[in-house]
């Protein structure tokens, strides 16, 4: 299910959050400058995407902490239902546009402070995954001369050239709950855990 063909987030919609633990009470999480939309609580409408992320989080935790027990860390997909959202301030990037790129780069730039002053309760848009991180890093911190030359040849701006390299059609969508007000509108309704190679409730 994609949000591209929907108006916006809807009351009663089910959302997923991949983690290495049960998150019954979501909270605003500091991202240290490596998340697309800044601090908050990230969710998705795609359970497959949440499962992939949960496995990744568990793997990273084990790489950092060694051979921990299953109780300490294992892939978990937390499931939530959305309640009323009519009074929330929602920003929806319906596609990977130049404004989306600028917003993502600003939030990923470790040199920018106060990057969370966007005034939104919820932000919806494409997620720049690990495969696209290299392109973003090159654009943000590398030599932009090559981008300028290629963009000029194609009749594009540098930002349009960067977006074309991100292969945005395959990027999934994410929903960031950026304020406590927004978080109060999602209710934990269950979980799925990866046990012996199978996802179980």
The CB density around residue 25, as the number of other CB atoms within 10 Å, is 7
As averages over each run of 10 residues, the pLDDT of the chain (201 residues) reads 55 94 93 79 94 94 92 96 92 90 85 72 85 81 82 91 80 91 96 96 92
Q: What is the pTM of this model?
A: 0.87
Q: What is the pLDDT of residue 5?
A: 41
Which residue has tokens 């991202």?
A: 31
Residue 185 burial by Cβ neighbours in a 10 Å radius (0-12, 13-18, 19+): buried
Q: What is the pLDDT of residue 67?
A: 84
Q: What is the pLDDT of residue 136?
A: 84
As given in the structure block, the two tokens for residue 159 are 């930002």
d(CA 201, CA 190): 8
Q: What is the pLDDT of residue 88?
A: 93
Q: Minimal CA–CA distance to 177: which of 1, 48, 27, 20? A: 27
Is there a contact between 172 and 127 (Cβ–Cβ < 8 Å)?
Answer: yes
């Amino acid at each position: 299910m994609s949000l591209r063909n929907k108006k916006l987030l809807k009351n009663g919609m089910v959302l997923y959050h991949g983690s290495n633990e049960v998150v019954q009470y979501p909270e605003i999480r500091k991202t240290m400058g490596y998340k697309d939309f800044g601090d908050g609580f990230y969710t998705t409408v795609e359970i497959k995407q949440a499962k992939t992320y949960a496995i990744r989080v568990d793997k990273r935790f084990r790489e950092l902490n060694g051979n921990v027990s299953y109780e300490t860390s294992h892939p978990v997909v937390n499931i939530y239902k959305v309640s009323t959202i009519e009074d929330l301030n929602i920003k929806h990037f319906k596609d990977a546009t130049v404004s989306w790129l600028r917003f993502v780069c600003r939030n990923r730039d470790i040199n920018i402070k106060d990057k969370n002053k966007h005034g939104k309760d919820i932000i919806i848009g494409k997620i720049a995954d690990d495969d696209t991180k290299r392109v973003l890093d090159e654009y943000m911190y590398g030599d932009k001369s090559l981008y300028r030359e290629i963009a000029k040849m194609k009749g594009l701006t540098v930002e349009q050239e960067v977006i074309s390299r991100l292969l945005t059609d395959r990027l999934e969508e994410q929903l960031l709950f950026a304020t406590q007000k927004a978080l109060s509108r999602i209710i934990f309704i269950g979980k799925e855990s990866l046990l012996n190679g199978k996802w179980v409730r």
